[in-house]
Structure 1
Amino acid sequence: MSPDAASTWHPRHPTDVALTLARLRHGRADPTHQVATDGSLWRTTLTVDGPASLRFAQSDLHTITCQAWGAGARAAIDAAPAMVGRDDDPAGFDPAHPVLDGAHRRHPGLRIPKTGRVMEALIPAILEQRVIAVQATASWRRLVHAYGTPAPGPTPGPMMVVPTVRAWQLIPSWEWHKAGVDPQRSRTVMAVLDVARQLERCVDLSPEEAATRLRSMPGVGVWTAAEVAQRALGDADALSVGDYHLAGFIGHALFGVEFDDRQLVAAMEQWRPHRFRVVRLVENSGVAGRPRRGPRMPFVDHRAH
């Protein structure tokens, strides 16, 4: 099936598409993100022109080909280079730590993505607030399957495009409940949907202005704003302060001690404006973080409430 649009380009920095886009995936069964048996990576998106499916393939770290299908194919192709890190500039980044130096050398193609689609990052981030990952990804999967649209093109398996703003708004309260989303998170989703157009314009703001706009929404705090900035805005410095695991993970991986959020922020200051890059490098370093002991976030089945 011939694509509706396609492009091949040579990024100025080495780029590993799969590694760069891995953080956009919400669980192994995310209906908007698949890796095919031939190694190509597929993503769906809802552009201003309509839905699109994208297929990324690369022969080396300096050559990327993207094909797209659907009404939004052309817009998706235009946005594809930024999605895989075109605007991410690692110049000036000094690892200054053996773990980071090793990871930086082993993964030269790790870039920070910039999808430009704020709501596609914000809604799953809200679903991930205060629950364990398996619950959040199950909620995301159920809602996208139920209220999204089938992905266009020859996707490697059944895929879906995220719901439109209107489709999200029409989800009845009992469906949020069945999806395991408590009233506080569903109210937050509904609140951001009311101003979706203004929030999408965060892509045109500075990181500080974008964070301020996002955090002006009830229920959107530092952690949620950072999660959006890391995916939609290409912010290499966005640090997810307040994450249940991050402080302990970074503390043990880089310094061999347990950190709280205050200590995390202080220790990471030396890598500003590349703090999120540091997190991604540590995640791919192979170094263990916090030992698996002590309390974990409990599983709370909101469907039973």
Structure 2
Amino acid sequence: MTASLEVVETTVTARRPLDVAMSLQPLQRGKGDPCHRRTADGAIWRTSVQKSGPVTYRLTQIDRHSVRCQAWGAGAPELAAGLGRLVGEHDECADFAPDHPILVEAHRRFPHLRLGRTDRVLEALVPAILEQRVHGIAAFAAWRHLVWKFGAPAPGPAPDGMRLPPTADVWRRVPSWEFHRANVDPGRSRAIVRCAQVADRLEKIVDLPREEANRRLMSIPGVGVWTAAEVSQRALGDPDALSVGDYHLAAMVGWSLLGKPLDDAGMVEYLAPLQPHRQRAVRLLEVSGHAVKPKFGPRTTVVDHSWH
């Protein structure tokens, strides 16, 4: 912990209500995420590596419309300049008009749901790759292991245990056996290294239209529709990025809105009228407590790749 850095402070006041904890919740990769912490006073602490350098930042909710940010490190001014985008100040949903009663009620109850964007592609892409085709418990454990091993200490007065996410240069150099120790199979580790090798090009997709951004993401072997959507949701704040191919999502949408499971094709067809706000609909189901998926049979086994 380095507490001697100068703090950069800024405040965002939005026209519409916002909730910083709700907006940033999708950025947390499990309860022990070294890059994300919520402290007892309600503050959200996060770390990032901006184009200008590393940053630790602390977000606090002042009132229903205002958020205060304190940031430390070389990337603090850049982070502060993008604070509005991060907390979803510019997220507009005036044309979101669901007709299902559950979504109508959720939209009414949660007008402060804002879909923010980090503008940091690799920081969303690596954990998304780690979460491909494995149990969330295993993916979060791998993320913790790798960040602790290869992430640098967080600048400023960060809570104990916080680390910076590794940079592209670091990800490129992670030995294969270290991925193995983190229970990451060769397919996912190769995809991470490939993405890190072209990180400069990938970071530029934040300025592209959604379709072109997704095309560039999916041009990398190992990055498919699901992974691109997960990145678009977090790095680009795309309100329509639907995670097609998710193990639970289609069934959850079906059970929650129709009382029966759907497959991916059925989910895409059913949610088509909600474009360009399909991800917003999913998030409303989640935050409102209406996301339902009955459990049948035993829990999915956590596969251990590290022993062989």
Quick one: distance in 1 between partners of 2:273 and 2:84? 29
Structure 1 residues 296 and 259: CA distance shift in structure 2, 3 A: farther
Residue 13 of structure 1: CA displacement? 2.1
- After TM superposition, the score normalised by the length of structure 2 is 0.96
Where 2:306 maps in the other structure, the secondary structure is helix
Residue in structure 1 matched with residue 34 of structure 2 by the alignment: 31
Residue 71 of structure 1: CA displacement? 1.2
Residue in structure 2 matched with residue 158 of structure 1 by the alignment: 161
Residue in structure 1 matched with residue 182 of structure 2 by the alignment: 179
CA contact (8 A) 1:3 1:67 kept: no
Residue in structure 1 matched with residue 68 of structure 2 by the alignment: 65
Where 1:54 maps in the other structure, the secondary structure is strand
Structure 1: 5+ residue runs without aligned partners? none
- The number of residue pairs the alignment matches comes to 305
Aligned partner (choices 211, 227, 230) of residue 224 of structure 1: 227
Where 1:64 maps in the other structure, the secondary structure is strand
Tell me the C-alpha RMSD between the 2 structures. Answer: 1.3
User: Which residues of 2 match residues 100-249 of structure 1 at below 5 A?
Assistant: 100-249=103-252
Aligned partner (choices 86, 90, 93) of residue 90 of structure 1: 93
Structure 1 residues 277 and 3: CA distance shift in structure 2, 3 A: farther
CA contact (8 A) 1:4 1:74 kept: no
Amino acid across the alignment from 2:142? S
Quick one: distance in 1 between partners of 2:302 and 2:127? 18
Structure 2: 5+ residue runs without aligned partners? none
Where 1:303 maps in the other structure, the secondary structure is coil
- After TM superposition, the score normalised by the length of structure 1 is 0.97
- 1:13-37 Cα deviation digits (max 9, x unpaired): 2110000100000000100001111
Quick one: distance in 2 between partners of 1:207 and 1:88? 15
Structure 1 residues 3 and 12: CA distance shift in structure 2, 3 A: farther
User: Which residues of 2 match residues 4-23 of structure 1 at below 5 A?
Assistant: 4-23=7-26
CA contact (8 A) 2:53 2:74 kept: yes
Amino acid across the alignment from 1:284? V
Quick one: distance in 2 between partners of 1:157 and 1:61? 29
Amino acid across the alignment from 1:275? R
Residue 108 of structure 1: CA displacement? 1.5
Residue 288 of structure 1: CA displacement? 4.6
CA contact (8 A) 2:12 2:83 kept: no
Kindly, what percent of the aligned residue pairs are identical? 51
CA contact (8 A) 1:131 1:297 kept: no
Where 1:28 maps in the other structure, the secondary structure is coil
2:295 aligned with 1:299: no
